[in-house]
Structure 1
Amino acid sequence: MDLPFRHELALMPDLRHRLRQLRWFRATFRSSAKVVSETFGVRFEIDEAKLTRAFLDWIEVMEAQKRFADVDRADFIVFAAGLVLRELIRQAPAREISGLTEMIETEANAGSAEIVRFWPEGFLYTNYCVSAILAVHEQEFGTAPSIDKCADDLRTWWSYRENATEMPAYAVAFLDRFLGAEPNWITPDRAQSRQAMQRALGSSPVSEALRQL
């Protein structure tokens, strides 16, 4: 997956906290849409009301589970981005308006361009969230997760679009899959059900308290 916005995000100081502020969330999402547009020759119309609603709903859901950040912060960053993706797909704040008539397709971006042509809005949402994960991980831990080859597989995106459109929570599971993790398909939007959290809870001093919640 081409991630043209990743490095721009990584230059923003204290990105993890800034993305929890509405103005930064909106600004970075618009910038991501601009970069994707310039890279692939697509154009997006952004509904600011829907984008704001996606942010507010995300904050509400994330705050209810943020205690799990103390269990495994690296995994919680991925999970939080998955919740963003869920809300973006649910609220659908972006709409491709060029009709894909001006797409830029090169040998270098051929794999991603095929996906953009198939689901431009979904690519934008996913690209934004993956870029944020990698940039935050680089800032917080000095390294970033690898992208699994299935992220460039159009067949996977067919399944992703069909399932996440019907049940947006599946976006969390597909994002995990794109990052090479084992998805939780049963309750993907519950932090406690994640494999990384379960492993950490087994040895964490706060595990007993969290299990009782």
Structure 2
Amino acid sequence: MSDLSHPEYHLPPTNEPLRISVRRLRWFRAAFQKFTQDLGAEIGCVFHLDEPKLAEIFVRWLRAIERQKPADKSARKDYFEFAAGLMLREFTADLPLKALSAPRNVAADSAAAFWPEGYVCTLFCLTVHAAAAEQEFHDHPDVAPAFDDLRQWWSFRENIRQDNGFSVGFLQLLLGHQPNWAMPDVFRARLQHEISEATPRPV
């Protein structure tokens, strides 16, 4: 399910734009439940979902995206991706999933086997982002080779123990971008980092 070419297949239908639906707890809960069931069946793993934790994650995420929402409309596309990273940050702060069995249908050295709960939450955030980006910008995000690098997942899991903001940078890395690791969960710092990276250096 790391293929993001048809992200809507793994999410519940909605009559609203996804950017609106994802801000409604009922849809968010249904989407995460469906996604967990689908991906769990694919990798051969059964999960227990803590619904109160999921609701708390949703509330924290809404507050976080409203707090950093940029006034500049030209930053809207960048902020969609950043919001997905904030979602992952809230998931990894207090994971709502617990694997009840080891994944049976994946390689032992895969990310899904290494950390099934983190794998599901990360792919959910990527999928929601891909579906929203397709709707809003006719963009088709894909995952970078880092997605299949177990060392990146190991680093991700270790680093969030020290700073959960690392989750935002990790999602950005999976989408093929170079994060601002100093302040990965501060949107203004991210924009400044991207500007500095794009500015030609003197010879």
Query: Please, what TM-score do these two structures have when normalized by structure 1?
Result: 0.83
The alignment status of 1:19 with 2:22, answered yes or no, reads yes
Q: Which residue of 2 aligns with 1:76?
A: 79
The alignment status of 1:50 with 2:50, answered yes or no, reads no
Q: Which residue of 2 aligns with 1:63?
A: 66
Root-mean-square deviation over aligned CA pairs: 2.5
Query: Of residues 126, 136, 140 in structure 2, which corresponds to 1:140?
Result: 136
Q: Displacement, 1:3?
A: 4.3
Moved more, 1-10 or 39-48: 1-10
Structure 2 Cα separation of the partners of residues 10 and 28 of structure 1: 6
How high is the sequence identity, in percent, across the aligned residues?
36
Structure 2 Cα separation of the partners of residues 156 and 30 of structure 1: 26
Q: Which residue of 2 aligns with 1:104?
A: 105
Q: Which runs of 4+ in 1 moved over 6 A?
A: none
In structure 2, give the amino acid aligned to 1:169. Answer: G
Q: Which residue of 1 aligns with 2:188?
A: 192
Structure 1 Cα separation of the partners of residues 13 and 178 of structure 2: 30
Q: How many residues are aligned here?
A: 194
Contact 1:10 1:135 in 2 (8 A): no
Q: Which residue of 2 aligns with 1:35?
A: 38
**Cα distance, 1:94–1:181 mapped onto 2, change above 3 Å:** same
Q: Displacement, 1:66?
A: 1.4
Of Structure 1 and Structure 2, the greater helix share is in 1
Structure 2 Cα separation of the partners of residues 80 and 34 of structure 1: 24
Contact 1:85 1:172 in 2 (8 A): yes
Contact 2:36 2:47 in 1 (8 A): yes
Secondary structure at 2:110's aligned position in 1?
helix
Secondary structure at 1:45's aligned position in 2?
strand
Query: Please, what TM-score do these two structures have when normalized by structure 2?
Result: 0.87
Q: Which runs of 5+ in 2 are unaligned?
A: 196-203
Contact 1:53 1:91 in 2 (8 A): no
Query: Of residues 152, 163, 169 in structure 2, which corresponds to 1:173?
Result: 169
| TM-superposition CA deviations, 1:69-125 (whole Å, max 9, x none) | 624111101100100100000021111012x1x6113xxxx59x7111100011011
Structure 2 Cα separation of the partners of residues 196 and 147 of structure 1: 24
Secondary structure at 1:33's aligned position in 2?
helix
